[in-house]
Structure 1
Amino acid sequence: MSSNSSDDNEANVLAYISAVNTTALCILEKKKQKKKKTRSEWVKLWKLRRKEKGAFHLLHQELRLEDKDSFRRYLRMNEDCFLELLEMVKTSIERQDTQMRPAISANESLSCVLRFLATGESYRSLEFQSRISLAFLSERVPEICKALYENLRGTYLQFPEGEQWNKIANQFEARWHFPLCIGALDGKHVAFRASKTDGSLYYNYKGFNSVVLLAMCDAEYKFLFVDIGCNGRISDGGVLSRSDLARILLQADRFLPRDKVIGNNRLLPYVIVGDDAFPLEKHLMKPFPYHTNSESEKNFNFRLSHARQTIEHAFGILSNRFRVLQSNIHLRPPKVIKIIQACCVLHNFLITKSVNYVTEINVRSSETPANVENDDGHRTSNPRRHSNEAGEVRNIFSEYKSC
């Protein structure tokens, strides 16, 4: 009996192996048949009517000629700015025609990318709107964003030096009554859809996956420095410590203007203002604890908060103009970084070129300090220890009458 049972088990195993092999062969055969399948058409017919009925025709043959305001809303910039921008990046983004078909023009490619940045709509939606293939869009959008950043950053996103610092400090003191301020610093989380392999690497305390945009701006909401790409799990202070700006602050004698005598003949350094997420340093001011009873410290917090509003306003203007930053971007981090870089440099370009770029609708005016509370609605505290020198500098600023 045991011999027959053993033979039966062996026969069952062999039958199972044979069935598995047969199934595997069938799957491989189907894959080979799929690979051999040829296209029924090279380009879909509705895409061939792109020039007559696509979004590019609407934009440049109708809106540009008949409705300038709608043209501006479509691209988030007027025609003059668009043409100047096209001239600056044309050689970097244009492609040559082939024997098979003509290339999509630089004009059309740039229009499509600007529309994507302005709305944040999906590539699939953009494909139906523009009648340009999904494969082309997924390849070219990040490439053109990279070209925009590389061609414009040398002119419109350059770290200040020399007399430029004094101009920035004068603007902060005139508008926000904070002396010797050369910039406002903060971080912004840009949401994207992380892959499963990323795990919780990009998962931030707000409950979504993000990369961090750390930026410093002047009193006119123009970015002076950006650091993009740190994962969302890291705090603003941690992002700063890894950035080039931290090295600049360590070598302040080389990169920043010399200390200046103000008020009652007190020598003070030029400083950047930030919130409680950042460490207190000689050249980086943050508020006193908000539970203080000192009038001079409360007054200092009030003025610092007003000066720091500029970076929040800059982020608000940036994300309202380029609404891709408000969406959950369905791309990998390297491509998300290119998109954010393009938005930042275009923001500075438009501030420089367009008089009406920053309007009263964009900029919030308030008589109360901004962000006295953190995102959870709780009062912030100053748990970090700081150097005696940094503490003394903050104390002197709090005693300054203009503050």
Structure 2
Amino acid sequence: MDRRKILLLTAILFVKNQVLFCEKIQLLLLKLINNRAQINSILSSHAILRARIANAQSDVRRIWKFDRSSRFWEHDVRAMDDARFRENFRLDRRAFQKVCEKVRNMEKIDSNLRRCIPLEKRVAIALFSLGSAAEYRTVSSLFGVGRSTVGEIVLDFCHSVCDNFADCINTYPPNQQEIKRIVDGFAVLGFPQCFGAVDGCHIEVQPRKEDAVDYHNYKGWYSVVLLASCDHRSKFTYINIGSTGRNNDSYIFEKSSLKQFHESADIFVQNSELIGGFNIPVLLMGDSAFRLSRHMMKPYPYVADQPAAEKLFNYRLSKCRRVIENAFGQLKARFRKIGRGLQVAPKNVNVIIQACCILHNFLNEENDHINQIWLENLQEFDRNRENPSRNVVLGDNETSAETIRQSLCSYFADADVEGTGEGSGDEGDGNGVPGDGRGAVDDDAFDASV
């Protein structure tokens, strides 16, 4: 083959190879274009998915937790000395730990969405709220939680206290040892055969507009009445919560299970003692607002030129009856939310008051004393508040009750160990000695006018 034919064949093969190469290049380019489109589609789907996940996480974060500073509990409280801790939470650290142990049923567990508030912090929030006059909004900022969370924690805590501290108020029905202990305690104070001092305390509330007239009291504001009896050491033995402010103490007592029990229980008569020539049963004592009966002693009405024996009787009774005033003073001084008014829904008032009364008894058992400055602050608040006086004296219709009172009056006159007292209005000043008594709870509300 000559040279010219060889060159021609070579050229033909080169052209064919070039055509095949171009076709392969085109196929590769088409595949690359298709692959790029798929990659872009995948990237777009991934971006959409990430955006949706981010939005979902943002929504959950907004619902479940708002970032707040919580330095007060995590840092400041840890650095507090015992005095500052007591001032903030109205009890000492030892009693605080005992309360935490008792209310473990209010402890929460972590969820997949958030970490729960620890038990000790929950108890601290509740105690700070009850012991402070601050609004829930202020407490929420201080502890770094939501305002509604503060309200929920306070209610959970109060329900837990009522469930787990029930043994702190369980006097009724009393046993023989309990009657002897309390009667002997009042005898030391100067009044024999007494099992409890009874009185009522108005606690300010914010009722619904349609119910406001029933809650309006003689002092000019809206309240519920805490009717209570206490022993010789200012320990509540009975509480009745929820009667509206327009009802007076005697009306509530006449409808209460406390009166019914003292009328029907034989144990008080069985423990009678011969005084002044008459068998005196175990009694309650109250002020002039109550009706004189065979189970309720009250002062003689004031008259000009009152006999010395009656003055002495009134002095003895008022001196011993001040233990219930002391109990109310301690309750309001320690739990300022009670003393300065409950700004909560009316349906939550009773359980908060009941829990505070129970804690009052528990802390007395723990010898957790009231600071004098707390009482002075309460007295200053009461002095600045309009508090008109109202004397309600009910008629007495039991001849045996008058005989009992006269027998005690003669007994005091014969004993004459403390001299004559000037008047029967020696009211308590809020200072009381912590005690170790127990009590009973009656939280029925009586919605009726006097």
Specify the TM-score bucket, using the shorter chain as the normaliser: 0.7 to 0.9
Q: How far does residue 54 in structure 1 lie from its aligned partner after superposition?
A: 3.5
Q: CA shift at 1:233, angstroms?
A: 0.8
How big is the shift at 1:238?
1.1
Q: Say which of 81, 98, 109 aligns to 1:84.
A: 98
The equivalent residue for 1:55 is 73
Give the direction of change, closer, same or farther, for the CA distance of 1:317–1:121 in structure 2 (3 Å limit).
same
The corresponding residue for 1:368 is none
The residue matched to 1:228 in structure 2 has which SS?
Answer: strand
Aligned ranges 1:65-144 → 2 under 5 Å: 67-90=81-104, 92-144=105-157
Report the CA distance between 1:40 and its aligned residue: 8.3
2:396 to 381, 385, 396: 385
CA distance in 1, matches of 2:112, 2:290: 57
Give the letter aligned to residue 247 of structure 1: Q
Question: Per-residue deviation at 1:396?
Answer: 0.8
Matched to 1:388, the amino acid is T
Aligned positions, number: 345
Q: What's the counterpart of residue 405 of structure 2?
A: 394
Equivalent residue of 2:96, what SS? helix
**Cα offset, 1:332, TM superposition:** 1.9
> Which residue of the partner structure matches residue 338 of structure 2?
325
Greater gyration radius: 2
Identify the match of residue 278 of structure 2 among 266, 272, 278.
266
Instruction: Please tell me the root mean square deviation across aligned C-alpha atoms, in Å.
Output: 2.4
**Counterparts in 2 of 1:82 and 1:157: CA distance versus 1, 3 Å:** farther
1:45 shift after superposition? 5.3
1:40 to 1:55, Cα distance in 2 relative to 1, 3 A: closer
1:296 to 2:312 alignment: no
Name the residue aligned to 1:340. 353
Amino acid at match of 1:268: I
Q: Tell me the distance in 2 between the aligned counterparts of 1:243 and 1:381.
A: 19
Stretches of structure 2 lacking an aligned partner (at least 5 in a row): 1-58, 377-386, 417-450
> 2:293 matched to 1:281?
yes
1:226 match: 239
After TM superposition, give the deviation of residue 108 of structure 1 in Å.
0.8
Q: Normalised by the size of structure 1, how large is the TM-score?
A: 0.80
Q: CA deviation at 1:55?
A: 2.9
Cα offset, 1:298, TM superposition: 1.4
- CA change 1:305–1:56 in 2 (3 A) is farther
Give the match for residue 217 of structure 1: 230
1:338-369 C-alpha deviation (Å, 9 max, x unpaired): 11111101111111112x515777899xxxxx
* Local SS of the residue matching 1:185: strand
Counterpart of 1:163? 177
Q: Alpha carbons of 1:134 and 1:376: their partners in 2 closer, same or farther (altered >3 Å)?
A: closer
CA contact (8 A) 1:316 1:362 kept: no
| TM-score (structure 2 length as normaliser) | 0.72
Distance 2:61 2:155 in 1: 30
Q: Distance in 2 between matches of 1:183 and 1:101?
A: 50
8 A contact 1:211–1:333 mirrored in 2: no
Q: What's the counterpart of residue 54 of structure 2?
A: none
Q: CA deviation at 1:295?
A: 1.7
Q: d(CA) in 1 for partners of 2:373 and 2:121?
A: 31
Q: CA deviation at 1:43?
A: 5.7
Q: Which amino acid aligns with 1:68?
A: D
Question: Are residue 239 (structure 1) and residue 244 (structure 2) matched?
Answer: no
Counterpart contact for 2:276–2:410, Cα < 8 Å: no
Structure 2 counterpart of 1:148, one-letter code: V
> Closer, same or farther in 2 for the Cα pair 1:363/1:94, shift >3 Å?
closer
What is the deviation of 1:42?
A: 4.1
Deviation at 1:132, TM superposition (A): 0.9
What letter corresponds to residue 347 of structure 1 in structure 2?
Answer: H
Distance in 1 (alpha carbons) for counterparts of 2:373 and 2:134: 24
Is the CA contact (8 Å cut-off) linking 1:149 and 1:342 kept in structure 2? yes
Which residue of 148, 172, 186 corresponds with 1:172? 186
SS across alignment from 2:62: coil
Give the Cα separation in 2 of the matches to 1:68 and 1:144.
23
Q: Percent identity?
A: 30
**Alignment match of 1:186 (pick from 199, 203, 206):** 199
Gap change, CA 1:359 and 1:42, over 3 Å in 2: closer
Amino acid at match of 1:396: S
